[in-house]
Chain A
Amino acid sequence: MADKNMLKQKDAMPKVRWISLAVAVVVLVSLPFWGGDYIVNIFTLILMYMAIGEMWNLLGGYAGLVSLGSQAFIGLGGYSLAIVSQVLKLPFLLGFLLAAIVSVIFALLISFPIFNMKDVYFTIGTWLVAEALCVFFQTWGFVNYNVGFNITVARTLGATAMYFIAFGVAVIALLAVVLILRSKFGLGLMAMRDNEAASEIRGVKLYRSKLICFLISAAITGLAGAALYLNLSYIKPTVGFSIDWTVSMVFIAVIGGMGTIEGPIIGAIVFVILRQLLYNFSGFSMLILGVIAVVMILVAPKGIMGLINKKSGFDLFGVKRKVKISDFQTNEDN
């Protein structure tokens, strides 16, 4: 019977899943002990970009919120780290805590005006908010105006420590998305992703669901912003609040596949490697990445994950709900 075979295949899936995940964890955790500095640095970047890609994808891929203002949280995260370590001279890890808190509060405050904007107005709204924040930081003496900060603690940190911080941020981002999608809330989120109007008729509260995604995305993007600037060790407003950050996130989500968990992981790997390869064309690299993204949208609108998914029912993180035919037979009598 065809159905039975199909179910058997699906039962084998969790094993494949656990083995793949276990291999990934072992490789990543042991990486600094066998990989050279260059490899460790590359993976540090991949992990951090994966985190912000996942967070943009949570908004753009699931909640239908196309933001061009996520750099606001990268900048807030970076500055939180700078203020805690440079101005307050406190342990820099507190900067990560502040990054998440400040980002959530800021997100909540701007949600009131921008959540009343629809579609492209929302997109423009988020971008304007980030630009305004940039201007504000340029004129704020407490954060050294245009000059910004050298984040000196970064220099005392080895490549391995930096790698594990990036790893931690990536795990938090991934875990957040996986737990959300495996929960009741995630079921509504996937419905929203597929058809917003229909999900609302079925009972999903759009405003609330979107707001929750916006706040989670802000917190973890802020956290990643602190990690990114710990790695860069220097922050100023025009860079910290640069739209380039969000352009990278969009690229990662689009290339990997929007509305999937695996997409931004693949996207981040592609993005970081491409950026390394394009290092010599620094002036053009964004342009080249943009062209690649546009071609991808035209050729494979669902990204690399879309291509993979067409062939197999790939579900690395087990967010798909399955039902067994035998479940139907047990309550046949009513």
Chain B
Amino acid sequence: MEAILKVKDLGIAFGGNKVLDSVNFYVNEGEVLGIMGPNGAGKTVLLNIISGILKADHGEIIFLGQNILKESITARTAMGIGRTFQVPRAFEHMSVYENILASVVYGQKVSEKAAAVKAREILKLVKLEERANEPAGKLRLINRKRLEIGAALASDPKLLLLDEVAGGLTNAEVNEILEIVKTIKGRGVSIIWIEHIIQTLMEGTDRIMLLANGRDLLTDTPEEVMKSSIVNEVYMGAEEDD
């Protein structure tokens, strides 16, 4: 199987705070890679570097065989990297439909007319048809998360980065998100999925990476990761630190 994304020796520090020391991993085509790790481990920072919002101090990011570290944010979107934000960042004064429409128009560089068809498909996929004409700013959390996923899909990404899309939801809602992610995976999209809820990662991912102390401490199948003593150590350690 061919890796769609390879990350090598990635590191970043803010002032004296070395958040990522050396992170190494890959994502196979069509695979869902889960990432777990304590609060402040640098999971969101990692996504920010992959999507171009932050510049790494060292390392390589190979996407579809090409080092993308020098590419702009919009270029990476155009190349096929889509992402959600941990705290949803909708266009609050635009309707749900307009949010997706704008993201399709700019993400896929198509006319508004062509985008309208695709936008409707995405709204159906994330189950927001009923809310299409409502202002995005008035949605409740589950629908904000749905919209966030929809907006990330709007550029027709080959790699989708999900940052805690199931965080803060009820069990029933988490299952709905899980279904949506499975549908997206079914369409051949590769996914990196950051989540705190272990159960969700167990069900929704092919492999899980544990990110802590600035490193990829462990990457394995969900079953193996759960059995590992490292996970316990990291989370127990983190709790003691608190």
Contacts and interface: CB of A to CB of B under 8 A. Distances in A.
A314 to B, nearest CB: 12
B219 to A, nearest CB: 26
Interface string A1-44: 00100110010000000000000000000000000000000000
Contacts of B194: none
Given A188-B102, A190-B102, A201 B133 contact: no
B111 A201 contact: no
Nearest to A322: B133
Contact of A205 (B74, B105, B133): B74
Interface in B86-119: 89-95, 97-99, 101-103, 105-109, 111-112, 116-117, 119
Interface string A47-73: 000000000000000000000000000
Interface residues of B, number: 42
A202 B107 contact: yes
B151 interface: yes
Interface string A294-334: 00000000000000000000000000111101011001001
Contacts, number: 108
Contacts of A187: 98, 101-102, 105-106, 112
Given A195-B91, A198-B85, A190 B107 contact: no
Contact of B92 (A7, A195, A328, A334): A195
A184 interface: yes
Contact of A323 (B53, B106, B120): B120
A184 B113 CA distance: 10
B151 A202 contact: yes
Interface stretch (B121-129, B167-175, B181-189, B230-238): B121-129
Contacts of B154: 202
Given A194-B94, A203-B106, A323 B133 contact: yes
Contact of A190 (B77, B98, B123): B98
A7 B105 CA distance: 24
A193 interface: yes
25 contacts: A190-B93, A190-B94, A190-B102, A191-B94, A191-B106, A193-B93, A194-B90, A194-B92, A198-B151, A199-B106, A201-B51, A202-B106, A202-B154, A203-B77, A203-B106, A203-B109, A321-B97, A322-B97, A322-B133, A323-B116, A323-B120, A323-B133, A328-B120, A328-B132, A331-B120
Given A187-B112, A202-B151, A197 B53 contact: yes
Q: Which 7 A-B pairs have the closest CB atoms?
A: A203-B106, A194-B91, A198-B89, A202-B103, A203-B107, A187-B102, A191-B102
B94 A203 contact: no
Contacts of A204: 74, 102, 106
B98 A6 contact: no
Interface in B44-58: 51, 53
A202 B100 CA distance: 10
B155 interface: yes
Nearest to A259: B93
B83 A320 contact: no
Given A203-B78, A328-B124, A195 B90 contact: yes
A201 B77 contact: yes
A14 to B, nearest CB: 15
Nearest to A3: B130
Interface string B61-76: 0000000000001100
A334 B118 CA distance: 12
A184 B133 contact: no
Contact of B129 (A194, A198, A328): A328
Interface in B126-184: 129-130, 132-133, 151, 154-155
A244 interface: no
A119 interface: no
Nearest to B113: A184
Contacts of A200: 73-74
B97 A323 contact: yes
Contact of A197 (B89, B112, B133): B89
Contacts of B91: 190-191, 193-195, 198-199
B1 to A, nearest CB: 28
Interface in A162-204: 184, 187-188, 190-191, 193-195, 197-204
Contacts of B90: 194-195, 198
